[in-house]
Amino acid sequence: MRFRHPDGSTVHLAYCTNVHPAETLDGVLAQLRDHCEPVRRRLGRDRLGIGLWLARDAARTLDSDPSALRGLRTALDRHGLEVVTLNGFPYQGFGEQKVKYRVYRPDWADPERLDHTVALARVLAGLLPDDVTEGSISTLPLAWRTAYDETRAEQARTALRTLARRLDSLEELTGRSLRVGLEPEPGCVVETTHDAIAPLTAIAHDRIGVCVDTCHLATSFEDPVTALDALAEARIPVVKSQLSAALHAEHPHLPEVRRALAAFAEPRFLHQTRTPPAPGSGRAEGTGATGPRGTDDLEEALNGALPDTAPWRAHFHVPLHAPPAAPLTSTLPVLKAALTRLVGGPRPLTRHLEVETYTWQALPPELRPRDRARLADGIAAELALVRDLLTDLGLKELP
């Protein structure tokens, strides 16, 4: 979906296909037919943007075989779809029964992360619509925080500088300008937008910026306006934003709240959980500059590893249009505040927006879509909600 910003630029809205992951090109092609086109039809659009997730094997096939890349582009056109952004965070196995910490490997100290991201960039350059010259890729926020020393930090910095040079060369070759955004996430080396400023300032290249995920932002109790203003002051580009909502529990000490939260503790994904810092506290291990206290997973918090005297937020992407029932809620207000700052001003801070609720099948059983049709209904409803938010901010939906 495309929108005209009041400044005349085009803002793109997509949804991320990691919600129905596939490891191979054949699986990606099936996604377009079985999932993405039905969402487009529900929205009554002739063309719909998707944020494509390409696992390692699919990316390698497309990067090494020009005919395969042409075939994917033809399929996108046939199904009324377009791609201006890729999700380059998960490497492979995102559809497996237990993902947890595996999603953070390989990290940016591993040469395979650089190779994979460069392959994605070449693929994206070949998929961009003819009238679009700018693409974006979101990626791992350097590494998971443990076992990350200065040697690995220098390896990561070197890899990202190399990536920037290769993206420069790719633009010279193709005329397509591509940027990569580190996606701050709780528990990682770059947990918050604040944590992103120092390493990105050290890299000092406008090809490498930040992907602001509004679920992650909310989970870390960052104020969206303060966070985005700090990035702007540091001249760190917001390459893209993933629009998502976290799980919020205002009174986690109450038995009924804990029972409701327990329904979201599941074995597939990691659900980092945070509570605001105690007054006067400093930085806690693995947290941002203001030191929110946290656990690596929701189950740990429920088992007593996290104080319950203040609200909790869990890294669980809940559907934007359907917050959980009381006594829980979602952080949709944080998303709205972030979106207002991102695109509601005189010029957009980013032109690539992506709805990223990948946890539909990890929801409590009674909330999961029971078939493809209901999943398509839900994704279309999320996109419709964001469409309405954008038009309320003065953007005009384009045909």
The residue that leads in pLDDT, 282 or 18, is 18
Q: What is the mean pLDDT of the chain?
A: 96
Q: Give residue 278's pLDDT.
A: 79
Query: Is residue 13 pLDDT above 50, yes or no?
Result: yes
Average pLDDT over residues 339-361: 98
Q: Give residue 290's pLDDT.
A: 52
Q: How far is it, in rounded angstroms, from Cα 359 to Cα 353?
A: 18
Report the candidate in 194, 193, 201, 192 with the shortest Cα–Cα distance to residue 235. 201
> Which H/E stretch holds residue 53?
strand 48-53
Q: Where are the alpha helices (DSSP H) in the chain?
A: 25-31, 37-43, 56-64, 66-78, 111-127, 150-174, 193-203, 214-219, 224-233, 255-262, 298-300, 332-343, 372-392
Q: Give residue 289's pLDDT.
A: 41
Q: Give residue 280's pLDDT.
A: 63
Q: Give residue 279's pLDDT.
A: 74
Q: Which amino acid is at 63?
A: D
Share of the chain above pLDDT 90, in %: 96
Q: Give residue 25's pLDDT.
A: 98
Query: Is residue 286 pLDDT above 70, yes or no?
Result: no
Q: Give residue 284's pLDDT.
A: 41
Residues in contact with 364: Cβ distance below 8 Å, sequence separation at least 6, in sequence order: 263, 264
Average pLDDT over residues 137-156: 97
Query: Is residue 80 pLDDT above 80, yes or no?
Result: yes
Q: Give residue 281's pLDDT.
A: 56
- Which has the minimum average pLDDT: 25-34, 81-90, 274-283? 274-283
Q: What tens digit of pLDDT does each residue of 30-43 get?
A: 999 999 999 999 99
Q: Give residue 371's pLDDT.
A: 97
* CATH superfamily, region 2-253+316-397: Divalent-metal-dependent TIM barrel enzymes (3.20.20.150)
116-136 in b/e burial notation, b at 16+ Cβ within 10 A? Answer: bbbbbbbbbbbbbbeebebbb
Average pLDDT over residues 53-78: 98
Confidence of residue 292 (pLDDT cuts 50, 70, 90): confident
Share of the chain above pLDDT 70, in %: 97
Q: Domains of the chain: which residue ranges?
A: 2-253+316-397
Q: What tens digit of pLDDT does each residue of 222-274 get?
A: 999 999 999 999 999 999 999 999 999 999 999 999 999 999 999 999 999 99
